[in-house]
Structure formats: structure tokens, C-alpha cells
Amino acid sequence: MSLRDQQTDIPAIQNSFNLNQFAKLVSVLFLLFPFCLSAQNISIIPQPRSIVKTNGRFELNNRTIIGMNNASLLKQAYYLKSELEKANGIAVTVDKDEVKALIDLQLVSADELPGSYHLTIESNKITITSAGNEGVFNGVVSLLQLIRTQPVGQVVNLPTCEINDVPRFQWRGFMLDESRHFFGKKKVEQLLDWMAFYKLNKFHWHLTDVDGWRLEIKKYPKLATAGGIGNKTDTLADAQYYTQSEIKEVVAYAADRFITVVPEIDMPGHATAANKAYPEYSGGSINKYPNFTFDPANEKTYQFLGDILKETNSMFPSGMIHLGGDEVSLGMQAWAGRPAIMDLMAKNRFTSLADLEHYFFRRMADSVISMNDKVLCWDEAADADLPADKTIVFWWRQNVPSQLQLALQKKYQVVLCPRLPMYFDFVQDKSQVSGRRWNGTLNSVSSVYNFPYKEFPADQLKSGQILGIQANLWTELVGSEKRLDYMVFPRMAALAEAAWTDSAGKDENSFNERLRADFVLYDKAGIYYFNPFDVSIHPEAIDFAPKIIKPQVRAKMHRHERKTKVRGHHNKSTHTKNGSKRHHSKAAKKRKHR
């Protein structure tokens, strides 16, 4: 209806109703419209495999009782109770007596993929069944999503329906880099809450690198107290790190949400922070990469790192440790010519520094495997000939597809996390100025949603070798929670549907509608998110602006005048003091990965 049509109809309406009565009617209809809309739509991200709507509604209120057929489901019942109280203020009751249950959690015997569940909402009862606790939890999460998209109140009316759901991939991961900038336990737990909300189940925690060591190791305390000093943009910032008790608290918090926490201890490269604390294990320096590697010829280096891995293993019960293994070539030229290293190479008949790198990595992988853990590594380490049944390779270099094929040929399990589109430090929209690009390519919400692309063979994606997908947030240009939120949301939602929903069940238009509903939840949670449908809603959050170099303007001088410095000439000392702590986009391009 055009504006002119609306204006023409108003007098007719006023003839039928008193103006005040009309205004009241419009107000009532306006208030009811969101309820009618939400009651008709079932909004869940990621999209379940099947949803069958039925006619009816279930009334959720403070008389609702959560029951179960197995005592092991108590944690999932109390999680549902807690989230209901936080989100809607509805205080339901948990009772082990299943007969009284209006929300019934059930473990059943079934041959299904881990994480699968069945959710039935009837007018008089809600039932969630699965073969495992993780599946029941996923059903609880879907129920919570349905509840949170309804109008808030002491009574929530849920549309009756039947949902059957199965995850596409078992590895649905998100990685946070806290070496470059540290965010702390409270922020990490908030991210874990949203990961659980979107059924992501692997949290890859990048805790050590050039700019800071963020993990307490009691045998080597200086790793945290000295190696934890500074960050990417302030080398003198006070030491920030997690104590072992804090690590265990985060791991337990994640476990309650069926999220596995995987630590990364970088080696043999990206070791600068560790070498700052214990320089006796440094592999030397070259221009631009001081103390970038550990020393492969020092036998004590292996003991040092082995001790670190033992303490790390005691904090993280995941059965996996990520050893990095990437970009060693940036700093290993410092090894060349060092007598002890030359002797080691001669003894083992190594013909290149790469041979020495692989030797180092195999020895440290053996340390991990001896603790019955799996070795995780970036795709460069696929060259190191690690045990196939004990290794998971993370393919990050989308411009080197041959490395993915090599990993698959060697029978490694693989997690797909290519820079395009799975690096969340890349910009999302052409209007953004802070962040990385790859030859002008952006990592939009849409590009994340549509990964893995059709170019990946279907049989390969369904094979047991491809464990799943993961998004990585490197934090060179992320120094605040506001910026972190802006880079993660809503791409985390797109990641979730890409990882969970089979390609045949994906519908981007439907996803966009459901995503808009979640924006209301982001607003309630104080999340400063990027809105792909209207970029002006939240202007870009910029922590470190790109450096803009303007040409010097020199004043014209007559021949007879003496040359003098132009007023306002660039002051080198000022630049050193104020500019050295800034990270600029040009510098970010020097390193392909990080």
C-alpha cells in the first residue's frame, strides 16, 4: 500500500471508530504481532535436519517440572533451569521423578551419531531423547532457542512440533588467540556460552606465541610472569596470564556445555615469549624475528618443553594438544651455521634445515603421544611424517590445496579452517577499514555460511578423515571486547550452521531471517555485533587504525633563502614513543598466518 493510499483510508477509518478507540486497537495489534509471528515460526540456529509443525501450543510457566529417566541427566536439567531463570525469569522445578515431568529428558538406546537428538513439543508435555548426554544437551539448547525467541514473561507459549536433528560434523570449532591480546576468564566464558547456544563443541585456545605466554607452568614460573609481559601493541603491558586453577575452571565450565578445550603450545617457531623468559632455549635471532624458535640442538630444550606439555596435559583432559608447527621458516635461518646445530645435522645426515625442523617436531609429538594424547598441528607439519592415527592436521592455507591433499593421502584426520573464509580477523564488508584481506577478498557472513564450498568432493567431506570445520580469530588488530564481538558476531552463527546443517538442508534466506531474530538476543546481552543487513546500525569497532602516510609538504624557498626545517616536520622521537606500540595493517601482511 502506498503512502497516498494510507492517507486516503484514514478518514474512512475515523468515520467508523472513535479516534481514541482506533489508537487503542492499533496498539494492541502492534503488541500482539511479534507474538503471532514468533509463535508461527520455529527459529533455531543451526537449522535442524527436520521440523514438523503441529497444531497446538505448550504453556511453559513456573509450575513446569523438569524430570529425567537417568540420574546422569541432572546436570542438563539444572542447566535448562538456570538458563530459563536468566533469560525469562521463569523458575521451574527439577525433580528426579520422571512421572511428574512436563519436560522429560530421556536417554534411549539408539544407533545414531554423537550429538543427535529428538525434540517433541506437545500441548501437555515436552520430551527430549538421545542416545547420549551430549545429544540431550543439544536438544535442551534447541528448546532454549525456541523459548528465547518468544516474548518474555512468566508464561511462554511454545508452538507444538517434532524435531529430529543430526550434526553434519563432529568437529565444530572456534579458536581464540590470547597471545596477541588477552581478554580473560569472564570474556572466554561468555564466548563459551554462545558456542553452546550454537552447538559449537571445540574451543581451540591459542595461549602462547611471540607476543605473550598466557599459561601458568609451575615448574617454569617465569614463562607467565616474564613471558606474559606485553602484548601485540604494548610490549610493556603488565603480565597477563591464566593460573592453573583458572584454566581448570574454564575447562569445567566448557565441559558442562559439552565443549572440549584444546590448548595450543607453539613450537618450534612462534616461541619468542618463552625465549624471553628462558633465553637458554632460544634457537637464535635474525632480522625481524628475534628468538623466534627453540634450539633443536640443545638436548635440554626437549626436557624443558616435555615438562611444559606434562603440566599442560594435567590441566586439559581433552586428550589433545596442539603443537603449532607453522611458519618455522620465518626464523629458522638463525639455526644455520651454529656449530651444535651443524653437528646434529651431520650426525643425522640431514640435508636441510627443514629436515631438522621435522626431527624436532617428531620428538615433541612423541612426548604428546606418550601421554596418550593426540598431536594437533597446522598443515606445514604434515611434512613431518607423524603417526597417522595419532595426528590431526589443521588446513589453514587455502592457497596451498596440495597440503590438504598431502594430509589426506597420509591418512591424517583433518580440520578445515582455511583463511578464506574461516579467519575472523579478516574484514566482513567492503566498508570496513581495519582488518585483513586476501587479494581484496572479504570473509563475509555469507561466505562463512556457504563453507565448505561445492568444490569439495562430497565423498571427501563425508569421509571420516574430514573431522569438521573451525573458525580462527587472530587478535593482532583486536584489543578490546567491543572489537572482538564485532568480528565474531554474527559470523559465529554462520559458522554453526555451516558445521552442523547438511548442505541439502541449508537455506541462506531462511538463515538470514533466523539471524535477525538473534540480533534481539545480542542486544540484550550487550554484544556489539556487525549487522550485514544494515552496516550503519553498528559502525565498525576499530582498536588500531591503519597508518596513513601523507606526503611531506615542503615550502618553496627562494635561492637566496637558507634551507630551514618546515614547521610541523615529522618528529622521529615522537614517532618512536607513540607509534611503536601501534600495529598497522601493512605490518600485518608480513606474516601470512598470524
pLDDT at 500 over 50: yes
pLDDT average, residue stretch 455-480: 93
pLDDT at 35 over 70: no
Q: Are 296 and 359 in contact (CB under 8 A)?
A: yes
For residues 74, 75, 76, 77, the Cα torsion angle rounded to the nearest 10 degrees is 50
pLDDT at 38 over 60: no
Instruction: Extract the C-alpha cell encoding 108.
Output: 534411549
The lowest-confidence range among 86-100, 352-366, 506-520, 536-550 is 536-550
User: CA geometry: angle at 58 spanning 55 and 61, to 5°?
Assistant: 160
Instruction: Extract the C-alpha cell encoding 319.
Output: 586428550
Q: Are 211 and 478 in contact (CB under 8 A)?
A: no
Query: DSSP secondary-structure letter at 168?
Result: S
pLDDT of residue 399: 96
User: CA geometry: angle at 191 spanning 82 and 49, to 5°?
Assistant: 75
List C-alpha distances in Å: 542 to 489, 500, 583.
15, 31, 12
pLDDT average, residue stretch 473-485: 98
pLDDT average, residue stretch 402-408: 96
pLDDT grade for 594, boundaries at 50, 70 and 90: low
- Using alpha carbons, select from 341, 333, 336 the residue that is nearest to residue 360: 341
119: helix, coil or strand? Answer: strand
pLDDT at 207 over 90: yes
Say how far residue 463 (Cα) sits from the centre of its chain: 24
Distance from the first to the final alpha carbon of the chain: 53
pLDDT at 33 over 90: no
pLDDT average, residue stretch 157-171: 97
Query: DSSP secondary-structure letter at 172?
Result: E
How much of the chain, in percent, has pLDDT values that exceed 70?
85
Q: Are 543 and 434 in contact (CB under 8 A)?
A: yes
pLDDT at 559 over 50: no
Across all residues in the chain, what is the average pLDDT?
A: 88
pLDDT average, residue stretch 483-508: 97
d(CA 20, CA 42): 35
pLDDT grade for 593, boundaries at 50, 70 and 90: low
d(CA 265, CA 205): 9
Instruction: Extract the C-alpha cell encoding 304.
Output: 624443558
pLDDT at 326 over 50: yes
The lowest-confidence range among 54-68, 83-97, 358-372 is 83-97
d(CA 554, CA 436): 34
Q: Are 481 and 525 in contact (CB under 8 A)?
A: no
- Using alpha carbons, select from 102, 143, 146, 144 the residue that is nearest to residue 124: 102
pLDDT at 583 over 90: no
Query: DSSP secondary-structure letter at 328?
Result: G
The neighbour count for residue 279, using CB atoms within 10 Å, is: 9
Where do the DSSP E strands lie in 433-577? 466-473
Pairing of strands 374-378, 117-121: unpaired
pLDDT of residue 457: 85
The neighbour count for residue 261, using CB atoms within 10 Å, is: 22
pLDDT average, residue stretch 198-215: 98
284: helix, coil or strand? Answer: coil
What's this model's pTM, rounded to 2 decimal places? 0.87
The lowest-confidence range among 19-33, 35-49, 138-152 is 19-33
- Which distant-in-sequence residues (6+ apart) come within 8 Å of 316 by Cβ? 247, 251, 261, 262, 263
pLDDT at 92 over 80: yes
The predicted-structure confidence for 241-282, as pLDDT tens digits, reads as follows: 999 999 999 999 999 999 999 999 999 999 999 999 999 999
Query: DSSP secondary-structure letter at 137?
Result: H
pLDDT of residue 18: 47
Element (H, E) at 185: helix 185-197
pLDDT at 577 over 70: no
d(CA 139, CA 68): 13
DSSP string across 360-412: HHHHHHHHHHTTTPEEEEEGGGGGG---GGGEEEEE--TT-HHHHHHHHHTT-
User: CA geometry: angle at 561 spanning 558 and 567, to 5°?
Assistant: 95
